């Protein structure tokens, strides 16, 4: 069942979204050569606790993971793209790090992800991240009343292909609000003008991710970390978006240089 949110409920999700956006911006500024992934995880745990927020990841136990998740961040490095387990790893020059987090505040959830490069970037990695950000923008632009769910999927898939990447549809976006994963599923590719009608009050996480040279994935033995099947690098960008009568509203906007949506040009200019 799909639960449409009232404007007041969307405002409450926006409160959570603001915190998620701020913390992700903070974490991506902190990520640098020589920083241990566990420092990022512990920083996030502290900030979440101080804010009185609740991690949606802690104790999360879907069918594919082995044992409940015991972290508040997903940190996926290089060929890891989704559900990366924070572990004792010191970031190296040129690493591509994807940070993903979802928390609830007073019962309302927001979910967002950003990919960054630490140290000297490989231009091919910059292009990969850019593709996920442009795909996210395109997906958000299609999230308007009167449209269909397939419009969002088609917009994301088209950007991926335009950049020359394959598009995997096993993992994609999702509804969210009271919990992290609600209906509908929002695939990263599909057919325009198909699927459910988009109505004001629908709140979804839109999250394109691409691998440099494959659309296939493999899982680590722990069942969590998802990697590109061929070991090529990967990137992931995500925002929580509310469809309103006036169009899409991003609830997890980020301050600063990793704002992602709408800030891409400034961002690439700053890093190139």
Candidate list 100, 130, 151, 189; residue touching Mg ion; CB under 5 A: 100
**What is residue 76's DSSP assignment?**
E
Candidate list 152, 154, 205, 211; residue touching Mg ion; CB under 5 A: 205
Backbone angles phi, psi at 241, to 5 degrees: -130, 135
Which residues ranging from 216 to 245 are in contact with Mg ion (CB under 5 A)? 238
Measured CA to CA, the distance from residue 198 to residue 146 in angstroms comes to: 6
Hunting for tokens 């996480």 — which residue is that? 205
Shortest approach of Mg ion to residue 56 CB, angstroms? Answer: 9
Phi-psi region of 153 (alpha: psi -120 to 50; beta: other; left: phi over 0): alpha
Measured CA to CA, the distance from residue 20 to residue 240 in angstroms comes to: 10
Candidate list 9, 41, 54, 111; residue touching Mg ion; CB under 5 A: 111
- Is 247:144 a contact under the CB 8 Å cutoff? yes
Shortest approach of Mg ion to residue 207 CB, angstroms? Answer: 5
Number of residues assigned to the chain: 272
Nearer to Mg ion, 244 or 252 (CB): 252
From the list 85-93, 103-111, 123-131, 150-158, the region that binds Mg ion by CB under 5 A is 103-111
From the list 54-62, 82-90, 109-117, 136-144, the region that binds Mg ion by CB under 5 A is 109-117
- Is 96:115 a contact under the CB 8 Å cutoff? yes
From the list 13-21, 28-36, 100-108, 227-235, the region that binds Mg ion by CB under 5 A is 100-108
Binding site for Mg ion (CB under 5 A): 100, 111, 113, 205, 238
């Amino acid at each position: 069942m799909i639960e449409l949110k009232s404007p007041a409920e969307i405002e409450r999700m926006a409160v959570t979204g603001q915190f998620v956006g701020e913390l992700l911006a903070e974490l991506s500024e902190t990520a640098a050569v020589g920083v241990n992934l566990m420092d990022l995880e512990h920083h996030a745990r502290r900030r979440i606790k101080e804010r009185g927020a609740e991690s949606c990841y802690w104790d999360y136990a879907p069918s594919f993971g082995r044992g409940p998740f015991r972290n508040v961040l997903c940190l996926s490095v290089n060929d890891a793209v989704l559900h990366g387990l924070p572990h004792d790893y010191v970031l190296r020059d040129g690493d591509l790090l994807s940070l993903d987090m979802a928390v609830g505040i007073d019962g309302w959830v927001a979910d967002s992800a950003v990919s960054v490069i630490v140290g000297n970037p490989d231009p091919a990695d910059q292009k990969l991240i850019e593709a996920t950000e442009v795909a996210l923008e395109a997906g958000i632009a299609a999230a308007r009343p009167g449209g269909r769910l397939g419009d969002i999927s088609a917009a994301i898939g088209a950007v991926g292909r335009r950049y020359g990447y394959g598009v995997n549809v096993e993992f994609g976006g999702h509804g969210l609000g009271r919990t992290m994963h609600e209906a509908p599923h929002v695939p990263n590719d599909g057919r325009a003008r198909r699927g459910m009608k988009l109505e004001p009050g629908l709140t979804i996480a839109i999250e394109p991710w691409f691998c440099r040279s494959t659309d296939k994935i493999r899982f680590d033995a722990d069942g969590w970390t998802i990697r590109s099947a061929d070991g090529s690098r990967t990137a992931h960008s995500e925002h929580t978006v509310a469809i309103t009568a006036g169009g899409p509203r991003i609830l997890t906007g980020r301050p600063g240089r990793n704002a992602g949506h709408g800030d891409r040009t400034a961002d690439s200019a700053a890093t190139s």
